[in-house]
Structure 1
Amino acid sequence: MKEYSSYTTADFLNDDLFLFWYYSGEGDYYRKIIADCPDREPYLKEAMERLAALKWEKPVLPPKEVDNACLKLEQAIQNRKMSQRKHRLYKMRWWSASVAAAILILFVSVEVIWKTAPAIDYLTLLQVNDSVLMSGKTQLFVNDQLKKTFESNPDLNYDQMATDVTEGELNKLVVSYGKRARITLCDGTKIWANAGTVLLYPTHFEDKKREIYVDGEIYIDVTPNPEKPFIIKTSDMGIKVLGTSFNVSAYRDDAEKSIVLVTGKVEVAASNGETVRILPNDRFRQSTDKYVVDKVNVEDYVSWKEGRLSFKNTELSGILKQLSRYYNVRIDYDKQQQITCSGKLNLDDTIEQILNTITETAPVIISKENNVYKVTIKKK
């Protein structure tokens, strides 16, 4: 059997035997992969989900082209020395023309997958296991393969990455809880990534657009280029800019996503289909299919990149959640207890110093047990 122990989702989508099994329904490909390489099951399932997301008509081909498709598949399998499977190829002669057409299309170019459903593809790639986010290390992946691990907060730039990746490759930066990162893209755009953020970006942008994907929180200073718009996509909204600086908070597990504009102007594609234009000092907030735009003090939303946390009339639960990500610690708090706070915290302090500051200004008691901080309201 061929070596599948290191297969990623992309590898399965380029594997002729996987495509043959998926579209024909014949054989026990799935069972054998799981039996021999159980840790590959998530990648295999993801590949199946991406194929299932495709929506296109299966054309009917004349018998001659059906035979050509079958022959092409047969030759591919022979090249992989999978002789024990050859007898199944003759069954393909009896497939319907529509199924053979599907195989032919996939052989012509598996890139049809990415062109048909790019949003599903990239947003799926943003997902990482909690264990990775809690590792205390920032990791750089190229096409789903780990390339670098950083113990401290990295400051990456295009020249550093260019030595490791080639044109057309996709980079994924995973900033774990307790870490931050800064990256300079190939066009000079600068990004500050907060703790618990996953960022997808290409080494080289396409000719007509610049596009990145984010799960988490970033502050971004976009290099102006009217002929090549900059697009940021999250799980719930899209942002189009020409040249501006702003903060995006779009953690997957947060009920509310927000954009705070510092300079310039941006257009936001809300989840309900509306396009909203926001101006400096505007905050765009979205939860489910509803959104609100209001005026704010931008310092309260971008100070984290300078090592400070500023807040005004902010719920304590939200502050504790930010601290939990920033310091990579667990903080338990009853969200039903509504307390609002105003002030500033120096994020260069330890988590113990930060929590002591909170106990001095808010009616709470903080205890620690088994590396878990517990925050309770003082009884009157």
Structure 2
Amino acid sequence: MRLQREHNDFIRFLKDEKFIQWKLFPNDELRAYWEDFLEKFPDERKNFELAEEHFRHINLSSYKLPEEKKQEAIRRLEHSLARYARRQTLRRFTYAAAACAAALVLSLLYIQKSTDWLRDNENISAGYIVGSELESKDILFITGGKTASFQENVDIEIDNERTAQIKAGDNTEEKIAITQNTMNKLIVPYGKRSKIVLPDGTQVWLNSGSSLEFPSDFSGKTRDVYLSGEIYIEVAHDTQKPFRVHASGFDVKVYGTQFNVTAYPNSQLSVVLVQGSVSLQSENKPEIFLSPSEQALYSESGVFQTKKVDVTPFISWKNGYLTFEDTPVIEALKQIERYYNLSFNFDEEVSFQGLTCTGKIILSDNLDNVMTTLALISSTTYKKEDTQIYIYKK
């Protein structure tokens, strides 16, 4: 959308996709764009600053959305994410994500603010789920008995010189010497994510609440790593050295492929194959093989159940969004809980049975946007008060 100078109020900035993109996904290109704009039109600075102030104080949880606006928001969200499906780079994904966020904010700009959100909404049930924001923890990288900590998400690449090149989310870089002939560990707490390139070139994305243990080099006959949590992995091809992921209760064996492993404690364990071929082995059970677009669910008895699936909902987290298809709301909240370091009290007395959600949620830094989108794609409403989140079934 091109800005029209004749509309001399700040609202038009709030409706501009580039402005919303700048606020949600700032980068040097957008900074230069807006600096150039304000230099050309200095009389717009006051409106621009007002828009920034209002954007910071938009409390999405204090709005109610009419059904027709809800459907329009969903259609625009789906359209924006369909654009991403045709684009492969992270840079282009950022534009699609911003368009999606813009669609959501634009839809919310049309609605009336409620003066008493709970009292006026007669459809809210008495049962609700309470969530709270937890204290943030650092990412830990352990090698040779030494521990490095990082407050921001990090990308790590281990080169042939046994050096870890680390890039943090705040654009800082550092190098850490890897101790030889030892096991190393990357611990990613809830609320954080990380990516690591292992010594053989294998790329691993770690989701929130995950840890990966790996050797300084793969000098043996196999390449073995140990997982707790969830990873998406692209294994470097090597027919002479099978790559094995050891999870709780089972192993995944592969020579070169792409797949997702979910192995959180007290959660359903699964493997989803995107490309190539893998075999699964649990103790005293026969080895089974997966084909692309197939999921294996692991039971407590050590048996795998396999089925054909659309892989997108299982791997979209690494690209910054979640995809749901008739997903139980409780399961969706568990994913959001891990991603944003929240704690929800899933009280057994609260009946959310049969309540599902279908749609896509951009995992932006703005939790209010995320929870509002969840409400759009499910039969729920929510309210946020300080660090507390209340989710109600309609």
TM interval, shorter chain, is 0.5 to 0.7
Shift of 1:205: 1.3
Does the 8 Å CA contact 1:333/1:374 hold for their aligned counterparts?
A: no
- 1:257 aligned residue (258, 269, 284): 269
- Per-residue CA deviations over 1:75-111 (Å, capped at 9, x if unaligned) read xxxxxxxxxxxxxxxxxxxxxxxxxxxxxxxxxxxxx
Q: Secondary structure at the match of 2:381?
A: strand
Question: Compared with structure 1, are the counterparts of its residues 235 and 368 closer, same or farther at alpha carbon in structure 2 (3 Å cutoff)?
Answer: same
User: Is the helix fraction higher in 1 or 2?
Assistant: 1
SS of equivalent to 1:374:
strand
Identify the residue that residue 212 of structure 1 maps to in structure 2: 225
Partner of 2:147: 147
SS in 1 for 2:177: coil
1:334 shift after superposition: 4.3
Equivalent-residue separation in structure 1 for 2:247 and 2:273 (angstroms): 16
2-side partners of 1:177 and 1:271: how far apart? 30
Q: Cα distance, 1:373 vs. partner? A: 2.2
Question: Deviation at 1:291?
Answer: 2.7
Distance 2:292 2:379 in 1: 35
SS at match of 1:214: strand
Decide which of 139, 145, 161 is 2:164's aligned counterpart.
161
Name 1:247's counterpart in structure 2.
260
Match of 1:353 in 2: 369
Task: Show the 5 A alignment for 1:319-330.
Answer: 319-330=332-343
Q: 1:271 to 1:351 in 2, by over 3 A?
A: farther
The question of whether the paired residues in 2 share the 8 Å contact of 1:310 and 1:344 is answered with: yes
- Ranges in structure 1 where 5+ consecutive residues have no aligned partner: 1-132
CA contact (8 A) 1:161 1:203 kept: no
8 Å contact 2:154–2:195 — kept in the other structure?
yes
1:197 aligns with 2:210: yes
Correspondence for 1:230 = 243
Residue number in structure 1 paired with 2:57: none
Q: How many residues align?
A: 244
- Aligned partner of 1:311 in structure 2 is 324
Distance 1:297 1:271 in 2: 28
Alignment of 1:108-119 (within 5 A): none
CA 1:366–1:331 in 2, change beyond 3 Å: closer, same or farther? farther
Q: Which residue of 1 aligns with 2:116?
A: none
Go from structure 1 to structure 2 and tell me whether the alpha carbon gap of 1:261 and 1:269 turns closer, same or farther (over 3 Å shift).
Answer: same
Once the two structures are superposed, residues 2-48 of structure 1 have per-residue CA deviations (whole angstroms, 9 ceiling, x without a partner) of: xxxxxxxxxxxxxxxxxxxxxxxxxxxxxxxxxxxxxxxxxxxxxxx
Other structure's SS at 1:288 match: coil
Is the Cα contact below 8 Å between 2:186 and 2:211 reproduced in 1?
yes
Match for 1:342 among 345, 352, 358?
Answer: 358
**Preserved contact between residue 364 and residue 370 of structure 2 (Cα < 8 Å):** no
| Distance in 2 between residues matched to 1:260 and 1:207, nearest whole Å | 27
Q: Which amino acid aligns with 2:138?
A: K
1:134 deviates by 5.8
Match status 1:270 vs 2:282: yes
1:292, CA displacement in angstroms? 1.3
The answer to whether the Cα contact below 8 Å between 2:359 and 2:377 also exists between their aligned partners in 1 is no
SS of 2:392 mapped into structure 1: strand
Equivalent position of 2:392 in the other structure: 376
The residue number in structure 2 matching 1:138 is: 139
Q: Distance in 2 between matches of 1:154 and 1:262?
A: 25
CA separation in 1, counterparts of 2:238 and 2:327? 36
Per the normalisation by structure 2, the TM-score is: 0.59
Of 187, 190, 194 in structure 2, the residue corresponding to residue 174 of structure 1 is 187
Letter in 2 for 1:340: T
User: What amino acid maps onto 1:136 in structure 2?
Assistant: K
Find the residue that maps to 1:161 and give its secondary structure: strand
CA distance in 1 between counterparts of 2:280 and 2:226 reads 14
State the alpha-carbon separation in 1 of the partners of residues 284 and 336 from structure 2.
31
Distance, in Å, in 1 between the alignment partners of 2:304 and 2:180 is: 38
CA RMSD of aligned residues (A): 1.9
Contact 2:358 2:377 in 1 (8 A): no
Asked if the contact 1:139–1:146 (Cα under 8 Å) also holds between the matched residues in 2, the reply is no
Cα 1:284–1:272 shift into 2, 3 Å? farther
Report the Cα distance in structure 1 between the residues aligned to 2:371 and 2:283, rounded to whole angstroms.
36
Contact 1:332 1:374 (C-alpha < 8 Å) held by counterparts: no
Identity percentage over the alignment? Answer: 35
